[in-house]
Amino acid sequence: MDGLKTFFNNSYTLNILKTDKFTTSSISLFFTVPSAQKCTSKMNVLSNALKSGCNRFPSVSSINRRLQEMYGAVFDIYTFKKGSSQVLALYFEFSGGISELQKAVKFICCVLFDPCVKNGVFSEKLTASSKNAAVKNLRTANDDKAFYALSRCEEEISKCSKKNSAFGMCPLGYENEIKEITSSSLYNFYKRTVCSFPCDIYYSGPHDEKKVKEIFLKNFIFPGTQSKISSWENLEFSSDESKSIVKKSDMEQSQLCIGYTFSNADIYSMLLFNEILGGCSDSMLFKNVREEKGLCYSISSKLYINSSAFIIQCGIEKSEFLKTEEAIDKTLSDIMSGSLSDDIVEKAKNSLSQHYLTLSDSMDGLSGFLYACRIMDLNESPESFVKNIDDIPKNKISQTASNVKKRLTFFLEGR
Amino acid sequence: MYLEMKKSELSNTEFFDYTLSSGTKCYIIPRNGFKTSQACVVVDYGSADIAFSSEGNMYLSPSGTAHFIEHRMFEKKEHSFFSEFSSSGAYCNAFTDHRRTAYYFSCSNNFYDNLKRLLKMVSEPYFDDEGIKSEREIIKREIAMCNDQANWRVYYNMLKVMYRKKPLKVNIAGTENSLEKITPEILYNCFKSFYTASNMSIICTGDISPKKVAEIAESITFPTNPTAIKYYPSDEKRRAGDFIKERMGVNEPVFSLGFHYRDFTPGLKSTYAFRMAFELIAGTGSALYSKLFMKMMLFEPLGWNLMFSKDFCTGIITGKSRQAILISNMIIDEAERILYKGISDSEFLRLKKMMLGRFLRGFNSIDALCMAQAELSYFKADMWDAEEAIITITKEYVEDILETAFSREDAVLSVVE
């Protein structure tokens, strides 16, 4: 890809994206852990622990004061799920010249490689506050009934599949697992993450590759590993029968989530199909379910490309469950039967094209895209992505739709 | 055609201001090298503007009228602008808050065509019974969605206690009852009263030509009839109380600690000074935040927002904790302590660096830049003015703001658990 230079060493892959467009520079870093390790809980606690202090900046406020001194530099450590992988990510954004890049890299090294460790374990106080934050984040997320309904739908789909896959694992972890984490087990997990799992670094900014490479090689020294990553995960089912689950809640509005899987679909067809169905603001679901029937305020379909699955979600009145399900089924069968106007297909292609071609307009847009390609084992650029989508003929969309299977209906019933 | 140009050395950006012959203010921020461009039209008319006089008559419109107009503006008799934007590859949306309504689009192609489209869309209303009936149902779903959100409820509960009479304490979208009262006549009347040239601003950002934008803006004139005069209830001498709690059965309670700034009209500089004052007392770099985090009374940073219009000014600190009352008292005590001790030069410099850095970072996102300018249009200011305000802010000025920013007697605490 133009403007991208990649360097490999034993511990990590360094990707340099030279750009003069922004007023700041950014560093994104990803440790990819196979979810077979079942580590979402430890990952969340670890991310809290690392961003709450290190030996040089031993409190959350001293870290933040340092960032404020660096002209409001942005820093975060967080975790997310991608197919069969769980990712520990770090993001750092800063302004200024080459001296600021050196300060930025040194800061990241302090936080990542010199955490608050005493006698070979994380400090008890830090472990306790990090566990507390992880539990509270999980509880708060579940207070959002849309998030809760979606997570439950993912979990139940996973339970229906032949082997209980990473698809259903909650990316924020589980309360009972979090409570069992000790300072020692957390430290062991930290060491394993830094030493044993692949690390990808993306720098985006105005400095030339020679200077950037020099600064990283001089400061970023850790055991690490270079190994192949693949986050693909195929959900397999023993039958085509779809399951229905209804749970009651005290909310005013009900949440409807319906999960489906694709079979034999390539990623570009899945992307285009999803965009037409419920990915963009002028989608078929938006038109049919909201605008024509007035059944909801928001409706969308979320694509899980690494798992070849998608979930349609909307907030509705309890009494309109059957009507809404019918409207959704009709929308899908319209796509299956090929009743798609050229206009709808064109709009969806334009929307995807706009999304991918403007990734370079955001600080972490391109790095996020490149990392996603890396863990899907794809060698693509935004331009080649758009070309592959543009080349999809209309009949391929209905073919893709015809191979879709409904797996689960999850209804979180309101008052 | 006179385009006033100001250059910022800090961000290396040129800002162009232009007043159309109709009186509409136009703010243009070229950002070369970006593929996305964005345009926004802001109308100085929001959910709190229900009482007004126009052409010698007094009107009291139902709550949710401004928001209802926003929903319907995309749809006309024969066609949908939503569909047209989509066909030309643009993403479009709109929002309403207490004091304004904004319509915007972003695209990587056909910017000037879409700009014409946007300006035409907000100058030509079409409201009919059938459209209103279907939109009513959609908005009812929106209200239900918001009612299920603890953050939404905690905020509105706080407003209800703080302002007994003011219309801003009603949901922006209105209520199920108020929606039933909305008719095409009411929508047309409100449109005519507020969607006027002098009451609207146009903001454009991206790899665009200021001259071409000005030419297009000049070619589509917003109505030039006089804007309605807004009326608000007089400020209450007595609040309904200073504490309100509601049970929603959430796992983690949320709270809003609001401060009512009576008889205070915020200017551009004061909005930044309030932010600095908050960061000093309870921001992520403060001793108080560190203490609350390590004692596990907080697990994430507190939020800050300054809400204002011609009718009100409120500072709001938001957070999630089971110990909201204790934390609120600690925040107020800390403000008193720092006021007594004074702000050190090093603390002030650190916060100023933070503000400048944040300001600069805003130029990295076309959307953030467009929305920041949309916010500044309220003060008839541009990004150059904002930069000047931050650069010239003094420690003494922040101390003045701090004197009344977090006062116990102005505070209202709302908790949802």
Condensed to tens digits (0 to 9), the pLDDT of residues A287-342 reads: 999 988 989 989 999 999 999 999 999 999 999 999 999 999 999 999 999 888 99
Chain B residue closest in CA terms to A68: B354
**Model pLDDT, residue B192:** 97
Q: pLDDT for A146-197, tens place per residue?
A: 999 999 999 999 999 887 778 889 999 999 999 999 999 999 999 999 888 8
- CB-CB: which of A139, A315, A350 is closest to B252? A139
Of A51, A10, A49, A15, the C-alpha closest to A30 is A15
Q: Residue A128: pLDDT above 90?
A: yes
Q: B293 and A52 in contact by Cβ < 8 A?
A: yes
Q: What percent of chain A has pLDDT above 70?
A: 99
Q: A59 and B290 in contact by Cβ < 8 A?
A: yes
- Residue B51's DSSP bridge partners are B60, B231
- CATH number for the domain whose boundaries are B242-416: 3.30.830.10
Alpha-carbon gap: A327 to the closest alpha carbon of chain B (Å): 16
Q: Which residues, 6+ apart, have CB-to-CB distance to A251 below 8 Å? A: A145, A412, A414, A415, B148
**Model pLDDT, residue B3:** 84
Q: Cβ contacts (< 8 Å) between B365 and chain A: which residues?
A: 361-362
**Model pLDDT, residue A196:** 86
Instruction: Kindly state the tokens that stand for A13.
Output: 């892959």
- CB-CB: which of A61, A317, A350 is closest to B286? A61
Q: pLDDT for A253-277, tens place per residue?
A: 999 999 999 998 999 999 999 999 9
Q: Where are the domains of chain B?
A: 4-231, 242-416
Instruction: Kindly state the tokens that stand for A22.
Output: 């922004």
Alpha-carbon gap: B294 to the closest alpha carbon of chain A (Å): 6
**Model pLDDT, residue A10:** 80
- Residue A258's DSSP bridge partners are A312, A409
Q: A140 and B320 in contact by Cβ < 8 A?
A: yes
Q: Residue A243: pLDDT above 90?
A: yes
**Model pLDDT, residue A148:** 94
**Model pLDDT, residue A204:** 94
**Model pLDDT, residue B238:** 65
Torsion of CA A215, A358, A285, B142, to 10 degrees: 80
- CB-CB: which of A23, A142, A354 is closest to B363? A23
B246 DSSP assignment:
E
- β-pairing, B51-54 vs B37-43, is unpaired
| Inter-chain CB pairs, A–B, below 8 Å | 169
Instruction: Look at residue A239 and give its three-state secondary structure.
Output: coil
Chain A residue closest in CA terms to B83: A282
Q: Residue A245: pLDDT above 90?
A: yes
Confidence of residue A353 (pLDDT cuts 50, 70, 90): very high
Confidence of residue A24 (pLDDT cuts 50, 70, 90): very high
Mean pLDDT value across chain A: 92
Q: Residue A415: pLDDT above 70?
A: yes
The answer to whether B200 touches B24, Cβ cutoff 8 Å, is yes
Q: B93 and A70 in contact by Cβ < 8 A?
A: no
> Class for domain B4-231, per CATH?
alpha beta
Instruction: Look at residue A326 and give its three-state secondary structure.
Output: helix
Instruction: Kindly state the tokens that stand for B71.
Output: 């929903």
Alpha-carbon gap: B88 to the closest alpha carbon of chain A (Å): 8
Q: Between B129-147 and B184-194, two packed helices, what is the crossing angle to 10 degrees?
A: 80
Element (H, E) at B289: helix B287-294
Alpha-carbon gap: B194 to the closest alpha carbon of chain A (Å): 26
**Model pLDDT, residue A22:** 93
Q: Do domains B4-231 and B242-416 have the same CATH topology?
A: yes
The answer to whether B369 touches B362, Cβ cutoff 8 Å, is yes
Instruction: Kindly state the tokens that stand for B241.
Output: 């109380």
Low-confidence ranges of chain B (pLDDT < 50): none
